[in-house]
Amino acid sequence: MAEATHGTGGLKYDHSKRKRPQEFNVLIALVLIVATFEILGQVLPYMEGQSLLFDTGDRFDTIFNEARLRIIILQVAIVGIIALGVTQVIITGGIDLSSGSVVGFTAMVAMSFAQVAEVNGMANPRAIFLDQGWVNLPVVVPVAVGLCVGVFAGLINGSLIAYTGIPPFIATLGMMVSARGAASWWTRGQPVSFPTEGYAAIGAGMMPVVWFLLLAVLFHIVMRYTVYGKHTYAIGSNIDAARMSGINVKRHLTLVYSIAGMLAAVAAIVLSAKNLTAQAGMGIMYELDAIAMAVIGGVSLQGGRGSIIGTVLGALIFGVIISGFTYLKLDAYYQEMVKGAIIVGAVVLDQWRQRRNADRV
Amino acid sequence: MIDADMTNTDKVILETRDLTKHYGGVHALEGADFVLHQGEHVAIMGDNGAGKSTFVRQITGVEQPTRGEIIFDGAPVQFVGPLEARRAGIEAVFQTLALADHLNVADNLFLGREKTKWDWLGPFRFLDYKRMHKETVAALEKTGVKIPNIHNTIQNMSGGQRQCVAIARTASFHSKLTIMDEPTAALGVQETEQVENIVRTLKEQNEPLILVSHNMRQVMDLVDRIVVFRRGRIVANLDRDQTDGQDVVAYITGAKTQPEYDIDGAA
Ligand SMILES: Nc1ncnc2c1ncn2[C@@H]1O[C@H](COP(=O)(O)OP(=O)(O)OP(=O)(O)O)[C@@H](O)[C@H]1O
Ligand SMILES: [Mg+2]
């Protein structure tokens, strides 16, 4: 695009000096974090010169340590799917604390429609709907049921927030508790296992990563190039301006939370298919991990700012840090504590950025 | 009470009868009878606290009047909110701006009425960025608004530039009635000129305008008629060609009141 088209009124604009996009800074942070772990691997005596991402010289196929890379992306893929929805919610200026519990409940429900009739020639001991004959169903049934559960939970969140004015924090906190309760109630606490091959295939091998990337591309396009995306940003940026512009803010918020619920359901289906089982405790704390990924990726908790690309990078940073701690042989206790510190740090960074922006006006 | 010397026989676009707003004990607006014709540009003048913004807020549905009638485009209206007024065709720039900080100029200009393609996708229909960009540049060039990079988000722009965007947005709506409440109060000399250019464009297009302003030169330059408010009441309705700055100031300060408005000697 010619430079002259950027400005009006004859003002010159130096395109080469424009500000870097936020995502670029996140990418730099990712590289720096990887570098830090690599250096620690060389420096700490007990590490014996091991590398985080690169082969240590014993193999000749590629220079990367594929096993660890695979673990990192598999680890973040499922929570990453949730983070795609959480990103949209946070961009509207809201928050969704219910996604982890929605994962639990959805996994239970979807799995109970995905069970086989027989295991090793005997009736499936865990089958929920054996008497009804709802076993060996085609894979679309559990998937459709699961998605409906997720959308329904999101719909309740969204309508509560949009139409009754309950703060998102409270509304989704309520859903967090209720959906977790529903997950236990569904089978009175029993796990649900033995899915059909078709269902299991959804989560087999690297499939979680495939779903994550596909959905990331889809929602990148949606947020960047569609009216839905534009209105999502507008609401988070200035809800009064959005309302005055004729945007149906209530309906839009309901839609955003419903999509977040649907993405939590996708995560639940992929997760239960991968584990071949569902339990009421599935997905505990996932909501916080998903929020952390978004915030690390530059999504502002004050709304209006952030992107899907940022969140994907944030998810990678998250995965690298967790893997890095295992690689440095640090206790899981430290991992949790540091995770908390990272979330707080990202929020502080965001507020500092916002204030700097505000000062310039 | 409708103006006796009003010779304009055009269609009446807006009329208020006995429009009144009390905030508790504060009589911010009292019995305002006001008429605006198609294509007419009217200035509202008056001291701080005279009730000008209050008047605007009643017409644009931001507040509901205590008493009185508003007839817009031939029918009585009672807007429950500013959005309803906007849908009916009343476009307003308020003293406080309504822009989305994190969006750029084109996004703000087209917010809520985006140019789109593949409309069958419903809420997920695609934005026609190219077309919106072209129309934005055209709209801004026409008004002479100076913005270094229209891809920048609004939050990085100067107050004057933001104001210009808000006004360009308003002017490009082709609404039935445009209202500007002190649009140039915070602007520099050049930006003020740009806003005045926008106002002139509206005049050429025969679109009616209510302009609240303290700037006597601007008012004398731009409008056909001046309505003076004092202490919540209309005290004068002056044809621009039959008055001058001193005369208007006399009405603003209370040295004079037109006889037909001197109901109870409130002045
Ligand atoms: N929400 C409110 N509650 C109580 N009093 C109000 C309210 N809004 C305005 N007023 C009072 O009504 C009167 C008219 O205010 P208004 O904002 O209409 O003045 P104005 O003519 O627009 O003045 P300015 O030129 O300073 O903008 C003032 O005395 C003001 O204090
Ligand atoms: Mg005012």
Q: Which of A44-48, A257-261, B20-24, B261-265 has the highest mean pLDDT?
A: A257-261
Mean pLDDT value across chain B: 86
CA A310, CA A298: separation in Å to the nearest integer? Answer: 6
Query: B267 in contact with A at a CB cutoff of 8 Å?
Result: no
Confidence of residue A84 (pLDDT cuts 50, 70, 90): very high
Q: Whole-prediction pTM value?
A: 0.84
pLDDT of A347 higher than 90: no
Does pLDDT of A3 surpass 60? no
Chain A contact for B62, CB < 8 A?
no
Across-strand partners of B15? B35, B71
For residue B22, list its beta bridge partners: B27
Best substitution site from B53, B58, B181, B252 to test ligand 1's pocket, by max atoms within 8 Å of Cβ? Answer: B53
Homologous superfamily, domain B4-261: P-loop containing nucleotide triphosphate hydrolases (3.40.50.300)
pLDDT (tens digit per residue) in B91-109: 888 766 678 889 999 999 8
Stretch (H or E) spanning A46: none
Express each pLDDT in B55-64 by its tens digit.
999 999 889 9
Residue A227 contacts B, CB cutoff 8 Å: yes
> Cα of A240 to ligand 2 centre, how many Å?
19
pLDDT at B156 over 80: no
What are the distances in angstroms from CA B82 to CA A242, A347, B21, B64, B93? 12, 35, 17, 10, 11
- Compare all CA atoms of chain A with the CA of B125 and give the residue at the minimum distance: A226
Which of A237, A253, A307, A357 should one mutate to test binding to chain B, selecting the residue with the greatest count of B CBs within 10 A? A237
* Helical ranges in A133-248 per DSSP H: 140-164, 168-187, 197-203, 207-225, 227-237, 239-244
Distance from CA of A39 to the nearest CA of B (A): 38
The CATH classification number of A25-54+64-356 equals 1.10.3470
Q: How far is CA A282 from CA A171, A174, A332, A343, B147, in A?
A: 21, 18, 19, 22, 52
- Nearest to B183, CA basis, from B150, B154, B211, B225: B211
Lining residues, ligand 1, CB within 6 Å: B 23, 26, 28, 46, 48-54
- The one-letter code for the residue type at B176 is K
Q: Which residues pair with B67 in a beta bridge?
A: B20
Q: Do A6 and B103 touch (CB under 8 A)?
A: no
Among B101, B121, B150, the residue with its CB nearest the CB of A304 is B101
* B138–A contact, CB cutoff 8 A: no
Token pair in block for residue A86: 């959480």
pLDDT at residue B159 in the model: 75
* All structural domains of chain A with their residue ranges: 25-54+64-356
Hey, is A116 helix, strand or coil?
Answer: coil
Structure confidence by residue, pLDDT tens digits, A227-277: 999 999 999 999 988 988 889 999 999 999 999 999 999 999 999 999 999
Query: Would the pLDDT of B2 be above 60?
Result: no
On whether the CB atoms of residues A84 and A263 are closer than 8 A, the answer is yes
Q: Per-residue confidence at A58, pLDDT binned at 50, 70, 90?
A: low
Residue B26 alpha carbon, nearest atom of ligand 1:
5
**Rounded CA separation A171/A165 (Å):** 9
Task: Specify the pLDDT at position B263.
Answer: 65
Residue A357 pLDDT level (bands cut at 50, 70, 90): low
Could you give the CA distance from residue A146 to residue A152 in angstroms, rounded to a whole number? 10
Instruction: Name the residue facing B124 among A13, A222, A360 (closest C-beta).
Output: A222
pLDDT of residue B160: 76
Q: Which residues in chain A are closer than 8 Å to B98, comparing Cβ atoms? A: 238, 240-241, 244-245
Nearest to A227 among B125, B145, B155 (CB): B125
In the reported structure, the alpha carbon of residue A280 is separated from the centroid of ligand 1 by a whole-number distance in angstroms of 58
Token pair for residue A146? 């699961």
Q: Does A342 have pLDDT greater than 90? A: no
Residues from chain B that touch A358, judged by Cβ atoms under 8 A, are 155
CA-nearest residue of chain B to A6? B149
pLDDT tens-digit series, residues A126-153: 888 878 888 888 999 999 999 999 999 9
Kindly give the number of the ligand 1 atom that is closest to the alpha carbon of B232. 14
Cβ <8 Å between A242 and B111: yes
Rounded (5°) CA angle A115-A118-A119:
95
The stretches of B48-188 forming alpha helices (DSSP H) are 52-59, 82-88, 105-109, 129-143, 159-171
Dihedral (Cα; A322, A350, A288, A71), 10-degree rounding: -30
Residue with structure tokens 């512009």?
A: A245
**ipTM tops 0.90:** no
- Confidence check: pLDDT of A12 > 80: no
Take residue B99 and report the two structure tokens written for it. Answer: 């822009």
Q: What does the pLDDT average to over A294-321? A: 93
Q: In the structure, what pLDDT confidence band is assigned to residue B6 with cuts at 50, 70 and 90?
A: very low
**pLDDT tens digit sequence for B215-250:** 999 999 999 999 999 999 999 999 999 999 899 999
